[in-house]
Amino acid sequence: MKNIVILISGGGSNMAAIVRTAQREHWERAPGVRIAAVISNRADAGGLAFAREQGIATHVVDHKAYTDRAAFDAALAERIDAQDPQGHPALVVLAGFMRVLTPDFVRHYAGRLVNIHPSLLPAFAGLHTHARALAAGCRFAGATVHLVTEELDDGPILAQAVVPVLPGDTPEQLAARVLTQEHRIYSRAIADLLRR
């Protein structure tokens, strides 16, 4: 059995899209995959309720309860590893998890830590991607699924999707258009990665 642990900080729309795809495509039967847990750094994250409704274990590791990033990441890794009897899930999926992870955490899950970013990386790494794309006059924007490395929003690209930037777009309108593509490509990229 291959386990997936999904990390969220908010509403969890990408997590929900992954869970629905896994259910629709019966991931648990064909490749022997299960979504073992959804973990948030915030107890009020809306996505936790959705995960519980789907029968998925949920946990909170509150980053505010730790003195520094290293202590939080160590506690988070302990909670993730506890989801599998062998100590390591097949994949750790960042789905709107709004914490910068330490190099030790990233190395611990090297090759098994996946993120989605709302831009066509390497363009516009970091925050405020849609506003920055509009300010730069981009005609296209999009989303990128990538393996996580120690560099922020870097790492081997697994999938990308492109959307047009329309005249008069606001950052919120562009974000909504990109999000529909995030929901489409993230599950597919995870399924492809699990087949490797």
Catalytic residues: 117
10 Å Cβ neighbour count for 13?
A: 18
**152: nearest Cα among 120, 187, 125:** 125
Tokens 């699924």 sit at which residue?
145
Q: What is the CA radius of gyration of the chain?
A: 16
**97: nearest Cα among 191, 2, 186, 192:** 186
Alpha-carbon distance of 91 to 187, in angstroms, equals: 12
Alpha-carbon distance of 120 to 181, in angstroms, equals: 12
10 Å Cβ neighbour count for 188?
A: 15
Q: For the chain, first and last CA: distance in Å? A: 15
Q: Which residues contact 102 (CB under 8 A, 6 or more apart)?
A: 69, 70, 73
